[in-house]
């Protein structure tokens, strides 16, 4: 059987499928960005989340796509997965950008983006990931992502850079003073997840005050300005993305893409369905 994993900054989605595409098990675990978690922690978390009845020796092939999993970390991830799935003949490791390409475009060339907890993008030749303009991660970039939206919301709150009615609403949601927020982000683990959790709060209040749609629109605008426009001839492609931020904020994403000369293409909340199709259908 084939085990497919899509590991984002927040969670990992797993699907165990037959080679004809029949789904046998579907489950979740935490995200496994190797910059934030060790091998033993990954092994323990996978084992803790394996569904009852999943026969581990039946896993013959593994396709693991991960946020923050650069080529330098491929051997580490392969060794770690083989500790759990000892009978696997093939263990394929790739970055999450390739997962987005395969889920969105299958075997057709084009442009693919990730707009979830973090953001990323690349060109795809129909087989392999091509040019990638680095998102620079949570600290230096990640424009267009849930982490970026939360980071901007918290920054504006600390600086009191929002209308009074919004400030009062956000303060209740955050539940921390300025010093506690800064401590949370700078000293506690997974600051990207902490910030990204407020993307839903922002979405739920898009009609509350113009501050919220302006925040989202500016985040997408910066994603295009700082990243998308640096791809050669980017306007010849449709804008395709996976991730909850691109999917649930599509109403605000579309006009920004249009302003930069790109038409929306396939927008998915998650890549798994497309990955199952890719790995079980010959084309």
Q: In this predicted model, what pLDDT tens digit does every residue of 95-109 receive, in sequence order?
A: 888 999 999 999 999
Count the alpha carbons within 13 Å of 232 in the hemisphere toward its beta carbon.
3
Structural domains in the chain, sorted by start: 2-96+272-280 (3.30.420.40)
pLDDT of residue 282: 58
Ranges of residues in the chain whose predicted pLDDT is under 50: 283
Closest CA to 85 of 118, 61, 112: 61
Long-range contacts of 70-78 (CB under 8 A, 24+ apart): 70/95, 73/34, 76/34, 76/39, 77/32, 77/34
Q: What is the pTM of this model?
A: 0.84
Long-range contacts of 49-52 (CB under 8 A, 24+ apart): 51/25, 51/27
CA 180 to CA 267: how far, in whole Å? 36
Q: Are 95 and 66 in contact (CB under 8 A)?
A: yes
pLDDT of residue 283: 46
């Amino acid at each position: 059987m084939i085990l497919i994993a899509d590991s984002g900054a927040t969670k990992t989605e797993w699907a165990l499928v037959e080679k004809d595409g029949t789904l046998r098990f579907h489950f979740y675990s935490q995200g496994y960005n190797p910059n934030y978690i060790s091998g033993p922690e990954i092994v323990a978390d996978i084992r803790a989340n394996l569904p009852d009845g999943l026969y581990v020796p039946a896993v013959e092939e593994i396709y693991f796509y991960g946020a923050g999993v650069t080529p330098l970390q491929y051997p580490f991830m392969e060794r770690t997965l083989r500790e759990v799935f000892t009978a696997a003949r093939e263990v394929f490791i790739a970055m999450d950008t390739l997962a987005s390409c395969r889920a969105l475009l299958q075997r057709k060339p084009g442009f693919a983006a990730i707009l979830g907890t973090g953001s990323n993008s690349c060109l795809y030749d129909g087989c392999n990931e091509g040019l990638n303009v680095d998102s620079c991660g949570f600290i230096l970039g990640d424009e267009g992502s849930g982490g970026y939206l939360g980071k901007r919301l918290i920054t504006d709150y600390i600086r009191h850079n929002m209308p009074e009615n919004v400030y009062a609403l956000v303060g209740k949601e955050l539940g921390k003073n300025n010093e506690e927020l800064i401590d949370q982000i700078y000293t506690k683990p997974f600051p990207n997840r902490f910030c990204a959790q407020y993307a839903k709060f922002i979405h739920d209040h898009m009609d509350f005050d113009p501050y919220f749609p302006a925040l989202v629109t500016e985040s997408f605008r910066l994603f295009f300005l700082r990243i998308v426009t640096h791809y050669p001839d980017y306007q010849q492609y449709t804008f395709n993305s996976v991730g909850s931020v691109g999917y649930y904020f599509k109403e605000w994403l579309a006009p920004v893409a249009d302003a930069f000369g790109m038409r929306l293409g396939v927008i998915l909340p998650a890549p798994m369905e497309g990955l199952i199709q890719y790995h079980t259908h010959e084309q």
